[in-house]
Amino acid sequence: MLQTAQRQSKTKKPSPPHERFLEAYRWMLLTRTLEEKLVSLYRGGLITGGVYIGKGQEAVSAACGLFLQKGDIFAPLIRDQAGRSAFGEPLLDVTRTYLGSRQGPMRGRDGNIHRGRPQQNQLAMVSHLGAMISVTVGALMAKRFKGEKDFIGLACIGEGGMQTGAFHEGMNIAAVEQVPLVIVATNNHYAYSTQNDREFACHDLVDRAIGYGFEGYSLDGTDLSACLEIIGGAVKRARAGRPPQLVVASVLRLSGHGEHDDASYVTEEIKREPFARDCLKVAEQTIADLNLVDAKTLTEWRKEAVAKVDEAIATAQKEAPPEGDKEDWCAISVRDLVDSLQ
Amino acid sequence: MSITYLEAIREAQAKLLRDDERVFIYGQDVGGTFGGAFKATKGLAKEFPGRVLNTPISEDAMVGAAIGAAIEGMRPIVEMQFADFSSIALNQILNNAGTHYWRTNVPVPITVRLPSGGTKGSGPFHSQSMESIYAHYPGLIVMTPATVEDAYTMLIEAVAIDDPVVYCEHKYLYYHLKADKLPTQGVPTGTARIAREGRDLTIVSYSAMVHEALAVAEQLAGEGFEIEVIDLRSVKPLDTNTVLASVARTGRLLCVGESFPWGGVTAEVIARAAAEGFHLLDAAPQRLNAKDTPIPYHPNLWSAHRPNAKEIARKARALLRE
Ligand SMILES: Cc1ncc(C[n+]2csc(CCOP(=O)(O)OP(=O)(O)O)c2C)c(N)n1
Ligand SMILES: [Mg+2]
C-alpha cells in the first residue's frame, strides 16, 4: 500500500509548528554553525582531506536524529551532521575526526564524515554508497534475535546512492526480513555534478517504495515542521510494526559536493525552485512569523552554538595527532592470528 | 609546452574519440561541463556530443553495459570515480569480462580506468591500489603507467587491445609529473622499462613507486651505489625477462609496491626471480609494500603506511650489505 503525504511550502499563513520544532531548530543551528567553522578551517588549510557539509539538509537530518531513542540504530551519511548531533554524537567526535586528533573515535585512521561509534548504535559509514542499508538491516535482525523490543533503525541516503545495486538489495532484504527500518532518502537534485535526469528515469523516487514492499512518503525537506511530522510518523510506524518505511525528501544541496568543489555546474534555474530554499532561513522565518521565541533568545542560542563549536575545535586542536611509529598497525582483533608479514 | 600526467590521459581520450567512432566514455560526472572528479575528461562532452556520458552511481551496471557494448563492437572506456569503487564492479570485470573470450571465443575490448593510489588525507576508501586483484584473475590486461608518456600511449593502446584492460592511473602523479610533449609512439605493453641503469642492486617497481625508487637510487648514488630501477609499466603481462636480465647484472633484487603486502605484484616478481633466476641472486630477494592495515586518513599515519623513500633506502642498504 502506497501512501504519499505531500506538503506544500506555506508562504502565506503558517500553521502552528510541530511540537519539537524549536528543539530541532537548535540542532540545525548548531550544525550550521559547526559546518561554517569547519569550512573556514578547511579554507585556512587546517583540515587535510575533504570537508562535506549538509547545508540545506539540516531540517531533514535533524528530524532523522530527533525521534531515535537510545537503543535505536542510526546509519547517517555524508550530510547528516544535524541528525548525528541530535542522536547524541558529541561535537568533539566531529572536530577530533576532522582535525585528526588521536583521541577521536577514529584515532586518525579515518577522517571527516567517515566516523561513528557502533557500540553507541552510530554506524560508521564507508564511502561506498548503499553499503550501510543492509548493515542496518542486520543490526536490526540481531536485536530481534536477542529479544530486544521497541527498537528501530534509520538509514540515510542521497538520491545518487539510491542508484547503487547495494541500495536495491538493501531495500529488498529489509522488506523480506520485515525489520523496523526507516530509510530517509534526500533528493538534493545533485550527485556530485550529475543532475536527476542522468540518475534515474522514474517519475518519482517514492514510487519505488511499493515495488519493494515499503510504505513511501514524500517530503518538502525545506519545511522543518513537515520533516518532523513525516519522518516522526515514519519512525512511529516502524516502531509499531508497520512495514519498512521510505521517506523521500526534496531539497537543493546548498554547497559544493565537498568544499573543494565550487559547484559552478548548479544551474540558476534550479536555484529558483521552491526546494532550493534554505531550510534554516525558512525555520527562522516561521519563528519570527509565529513569534515562537524573541529575538534576544535567538541571539543567545546563536552565541551558545558558537561557544560550543569554538570549544570543541579548540580542544581538538590542542590534542596530539597520531604518529606512525607509535601506531598499532594491526587490522584484526584476535592478536594471536596476526599474520607474520613484514 | 608542458603537459601533466592527467592532461596526457585527457589528451589520449580526446584522440581516441576523434580517431575511432567506436569509442565512448562512461562514468560518474565525466560529462557536462564538469569533466570528471579529477577533470580527466574536461571539455570532452562538448567536443564529442553524445559520447561522454554521465552514469548513475551504479558501477556494476556501468561495467556490465560496457561489456555488452563491447561485444556489439564498441570500444567503451569506463571511468571509475576512484579505483576503490571498482570493487562494486568486481563481478562484471572478473566474471563477465575476464571469462568471456575464454568461454565464447569473443573478446571484450573494454578499458576500465582506475584513479588509484594514495594521496594525503584520502583515507581507506579513496586511496587503494587494486592492480594485484585484477592481475590475479585470468583474462585481463593490467596497466600501471608511471610516466606522462606511458599514461598517454598506454591508454591509446588499452583501447586498441581486443581484451579487457584495467588501466591503473596514479592520482599522485596526476599533477606531479610533467613532460615537454606527448610521444607519437610508445613502447608496447608487456615490455618493462629500465628507468635508471645500475649494477649493484635492481629495484623493480611500477606506478608512483617508480619515482620513490628513483629518488632512492639518486640518494644512494651519493653513497657510491649504482642502483638499477625497473618500471614494470604493466603488471600483467609482467616482463619477467627484463627483470631477470637486470638481476643477472646486479645479483640483488628489491621489489616495491604501494599496495597491501599479502601476495600481489611484488610477491609475484620475487617468486619468478627466485624460481627462474635463483642462480643469479647473491642475496635473498626482498620486497616492500604498504602495511597490512587499511590505508589511514591522517597524513602522519599515511606516510608511515606506504613504502616511502626512507624505507626503501633502508631496505636497499641492508640488501647491499649482504
Ligand atoms: C559506490 C560509490 N561510487 C562512487 C562514489 C563517489 N561518490 C561519493 S559521493 C557521490 C555523490 C553522491 O550523491 P548522492 O547520493 O545524491 O548524495 P549527496 O552527495 O547529494 O548528498 C559519489 C558519486 C561512492 N561514494 N560510492
Ligand atoms: Mg544528491
Domain pair B3-179 / B193-321, same fold = yes
Beta carbon of B61 within 6 Å of any ligand 1 atom: no
Taking contacts as CB-CB distances below 8 angstroms, the residues of chain A near B88 are: 128, 164-166
Residue A33 has pLDDT above 50, yes or no: yes
Which H or E element spans position A73?
A: strand A73-75
pLDDT bin (cut points 50, 70, 90) of residue A16 is confident
Please give the distance, rounded to the nearest whole angstrom, from the Cα atom of residue A192 to the centre of ligand 1.
7
Cα B205 from Cα B192, distance rounded (Å)? 10
Nearest CA in chain A to B286: A342
Q: Is B305 on the interface with A (CB under 8 A)?
A: yes
Partnered with residue B254 across adjacent β-strands are B203, B286
Annotated domain spans of chain A: 3-337
Question: In this structure, are strands B193-196 and B227-231 parallel, antiparallel, or unpaired?
Answer: antiparallel
Residue nearest (by alpha carbon) to ligand 1 atom 12? A191
CB atoms within 10 A of CB B32: 18
> What does the pLDDT average to over B168-173?
98
Percent of chain A with pLDDT over 70: 96
Point out the residue among A48, A114, A200 whose CB comes nearest to the CB of B56: A200
> What does the pLDDT average to over A41-50?
97
CATH fold, domain B193-321, is: Rossmann fold (3.40.50)
Interface test with B, best of A109, A197, A266, A341 (most B CBs within 10 A): A109
CB contact under 8 A, A322 and B292: no
Q: Which atom of ligand 1 is nearest to the CA of A257?
A: 19
Please give the distance, rounded to the nearest whole angstrom, from the Cα atom of residue A77 to the centre of ligand 1.
10
CB contact under 8 A, B60 and A324: no
Helix axes A91-99 and A21-43, enclosed angle (nearest 10): 20
In this prediction, residue A5 carries a pLDDT of 43
Residue B95: DSSP 8-state: I
pLDDT bin (cut points 50, 70, 90) of residue A342 is low
Point out the residue among A128, A321, A339 whose CB comes nearest to the CB of B292: A339
Cα B141 from Cα A322, distance rounded (Å)? 39
Q: Indicate if B126 belongs to the active site.
A: yes
> What does the pLDDT average to over A222-229?
98
pLDDT bin (cut points 50, 70, 90) of residue A10 is very low
In this prediction, residue A13 carries a pLDDT of 56
In this prediction, residue A8 carries a pLDDT of 43
Beta carbon of B57 within 6 Å of any ligand 1 atom: yes
What number is the ipTM of this complex? Answer: 0.95
List, in sequence order, every beta strand (DSSP E) within chain B: 3-4, 23-27, 52-54, 75-79, 111-116, 141-143, 165-170, 178-179, 193-196, 201-205, 227-231, 234-236, 253-256, 286-288
Please give the distance, rounded to the nearest whole angstrom, from the Cα atom of residue A261 to the centre of ligand 2.
14
What would the pLDDT profile of A285-307 be if each residue is shown by its tens digit?
Answer: 999 999 999 999 999 999 999 99
Taking contacts as CB-CB distances below 8 angstroms, the residues of chain B near A50 are: 121
Q: Is B88 on the interface with A (CB under 8 A)?
A: yes
Q: Which atom of ligand 1 is nearest to the CA of A79?
A: 21
Matching CATH number, B3-179, of 3.40.980.10, 3.40.630.10, 3.20.20.140, 3.40.50.970: 3.40.50.970
Measured over the CA atoms of residue A93, residue A96, residue A99 and residue A100, the dihedral's sign is negative
Cα B303 from Cα B296, distance rounded (Å)? 9
Residue A223: DSSP 8-state: -
pTM to 2 decimal places: 0.96
pLDDT bin (cut points 50, 70, 90) of residue A15 is confident
In this prediction, residue A340 carries a pLDDT of 84
Residue nearest (by alpha carbon) to ligand 1 atom 2? A128
In this prediction, residue A12 carries a pLDDT of 52
In this prediction, residue B1 carries a pLDDT of 75
Catalytic residue (choose from B100, B126, B211, B305): B126
Q: What is the residue type of B57?
A: I
CB contact under 8 A, B54 and A166: no
> What does the pLDDT average to over B306-310?
95
Q: Which atom of ligand 1 is nearest to the CA of A157?
A: 15
pLDDT bin (cut points 50, 70, 90) of residue B322 is confident
CB atoms within 10 A of CB A337: 7
Residue B261 has pLDDT above 80, yes or no: yes
pLDDT bin (cut points 50, 70, 90) of residue A14 is low
Cα B134 from Cα A88, distance rounded (Å)? 42
Counting ligands in written order, the one closest to the CA of A55 is: 1
- Full DSSP string of A153-211: EEEEEETTGGGSHHHHHHHHHHHHHT--EEEEEEE-SEETTEEGGGT--SS-GGGHHHH
Query: What is the assigned CATH class of domain A3-337?
Result: alpha beta
What would the pLDDT profile of B130-140 be if each residue is shown by its tens digit?
Answer: 999 999 999 99
Compute φ and ψ for A191, nearest 5 degrees.
Answer: -115, 105
What would the pLDDT profile of B79-128 be if each residue is shown by its tens digit?
Answer: 999 999 999 999 999 999 999 999 999 999 999 999 999 999 999 999 99
Q: Indicate if B157 belongs to the active site.
A: no
CB-based neighbours (< 5 A) of ligand 2, an ion: A 158-160, 188, 191
CB contact under 8 A, A324 and B305: yes
Count how many pairs of residues, chain A against chain B, have C-beta atoms within 8 Å: 133
Annotated domain spans of chain B: 3-179, 193-321
CB contact under 8 A, A329 and B293: yes
Please give the distance, rounded to the nearest whole angstrom, from the Cα atom of residue A232 to the centre of ligand 2.
22
> What does the pLDDT average to over B172-190?
96
CB contact under 8 A, B261 and A111: no
Helix (H, G, I), strand (E, B) or coil at B80: coil
Please give the distance, rounded to the nearest whole angstrom, from the Cα atom of residue B52 to the centre of ligand 1.
19
What would the pLDDT profile of A156-194 be if each residue is shown by its tens digit?
Answer: 999 999 999 999 999 999 999 999 999 999 999 999 999
Percent of chain A with pLDDT over 90: 94
Point out the residue among B124, B126, B300 whose CB comes nearest to the CB of A321: B300
Interface test with B, best of A102, A106, A113, A164 (most B CBs within 10 A): A164
- Scanning chain A, the segments in alpha helix (DSSP H) are 21-43, 58-66, 81-87, 91-99, 131-145, 165-177, 208-212, 224-239, 268-271, 279-289, 295-318
